[in-house]
């Protein structure tokens, strides 16, 4: 047993220090990014905000809506093969959508079948290998296998929270490493296992490790406000993935529930009892659920949320003089704080 005494930080622990700027208006800020990846040199251009691959968020409808803003969706893995094939055949080549899969034999075989049916002109160019624990040898071996079988894809893999494992996954074949254990709004991993890492420090440390190998990272989880998204980019994240902030919209899965004349939508973690009852026949006897189910207010079309995200990130850039999103991390100085918001009139 050992104890690390260095303080690690979460989004709530910091604010971004403003700096002099030559920008006159938010409209002058370009928040798109261009990347060339380590293992696949196919260029990426778009706004690197990703809707998470949860079954109530990572839907075909969400992908279509967010693509209008050049934003990204990681599809959930529970569609039928025919549904994937139909969707990707109709997908414009300019749209960035991740096909997601776990590391089970069933998920692997399903992915192979989808790729075979789509043929040599497959529209699947971005793939997310997703597991709650990216530290196992099996996970690393699976990433190597997928990279070897499909050398032309852009491969995202995770989740991890430390620099050394970020490096290992990049060397194993990942172009993008997904960072985050326990910060999600409906994740209970930290409560059930005691395992985790403050998300902002994880982003900073994993980004440093990845960029040294010409890799990239995706900050996954922990953003509760648009300001948190800006902090994630400021900390070095190349992509930022969110579930809760995209939940509750028309484009999400799940039925609308009416209580006391108010509309709500069910939102749950993919390791929750709800998800495992739905897709795995219940919680296996050797494990515990590590997610929860909540009802969140119905939020209408995702368009308004997308505009809030784009506008807030642009505004953050203007406060530090970053004309482009790629400049934000270079111009970010974090200030440690004890209070984020004035909540005298309640939370907003």
User: Looking at the chain, how many residues does it have?
Assistant: 348
Catalytic residue, chosen from 187, 206, 223, 252, is 187
Q: How far apart are CA 114 and CA 83, in angstroms?
A: 9
Residue of 343, 310, 346, 317 lying closest to 331 (CA atoms)? 317
**Residues forming beta bridges with residue 263, ordered by sequence position:** 258
CB 320 within 8 A of CB 15: no
User: Which two tokens mark 157?
Assistant: 């893999």
Beta bridge partners of 33: 46
CA-derived radius of gyration, the chain: 20
Closest CA to 187 of 100, 291, 288, 86: 291
Which H or E run includes 127? strand 126-130
Q: Distance between CA atoms of 328 and 326, rounded to whole angstroms?
A: 6
CB neighbours of 302 closer than 8 A, spacing ≥ 6? 62, 65, 66, 246, 249, 250, 251, 252
Residue 225: C-alpha distances to residues 162, 191, 254, 288 (Å): 24, 22, 23, 30
How many Cβ atoms from other residues are within 10 Å of residue 99's Cβ?
Answer: 25
Phi-psi region of 173 (alpha: psi -120 to 50; beta: other; left: phi over 0): left
223 is catalytic: no
Q: What angle do CA 257, 259, 262 make, to 5 degrees?
A: 85
DSSP three-state, residue 334: strand
Rounded distance, CA 19 to CA 38, Å?
A: 33
Residue 116 CA to residue 102 CA, distance in Å, equals 18
Q: Catalytic positions, please?
A: 187
């Amino acid at each position: 047993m050992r104890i690390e005494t260095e303080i690690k930080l979460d989004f709530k622990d910091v604010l971004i220090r403003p700096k002099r700027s030559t920008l006159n208006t938010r409209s002058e800020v370009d928040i798109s990014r261009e990347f060339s990846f380590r293992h696949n040199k196919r260029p990426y251009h778009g706004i690197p905000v990703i809707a998470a691959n949860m079954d109530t968020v990572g839907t075909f409808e969400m992908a279509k809506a967010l693509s209008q803003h050049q934003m990204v969706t990681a599809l959930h893995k529970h569609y039928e093969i025919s549904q994937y094939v139909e969707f990707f055949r109709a997908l414009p080549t300019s749209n960035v959508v991740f096909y997601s899969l776990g590391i089970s034999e069933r998920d692997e075989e399903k992915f192979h079948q989808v790729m075979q049916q789509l043929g040599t002109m497959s529209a699947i160019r971005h793939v997310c290998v997703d597991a709650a624990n990216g530290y196992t040898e099996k996970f690393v071996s699976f990433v190597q296998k997928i990279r070897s079988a499909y050398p032309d894809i852009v491969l995202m893999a995770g989740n991890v929270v430390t620099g050394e494992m970020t490096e290992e996954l990049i060397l194993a074949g990942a172009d993008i490493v997904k960072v985050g254990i326990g910060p999600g709004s409906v994740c209970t991993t930290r409560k059930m296992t005691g395992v985790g890492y403050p998300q902002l420090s994880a982003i900073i440390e994993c980004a440093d490790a990845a960029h040294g190998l010409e890799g990239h990272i995706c900050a996954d989880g922990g953003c509760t406000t648009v300001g948190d998204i800006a902090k994630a980019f400021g900390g070095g994240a190349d992509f930022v993935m969110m579930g809760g902030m995209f939940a509750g919209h028309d484009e999400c899965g799940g039925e609308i529930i009416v209580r006391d004349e108010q509309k709500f939508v069910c939102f749950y973690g993919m390791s929750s009892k709800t998800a495992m009852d739905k897709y795995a026949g219940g919680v296996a006897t050797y494990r515990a659920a590590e997610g929860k189910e909540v009802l969140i207010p119905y939020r209408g079309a995702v368009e308004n949320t997308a505009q809030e995200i784009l506008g807030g990130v642009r505004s953050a850039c203007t406060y530090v003089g970053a004309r482009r999103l790629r400049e934000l991390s270079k111009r970010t100085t974090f200030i440690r704080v004890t209070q984020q918001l004035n909540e005298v009139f309640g939370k907003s």
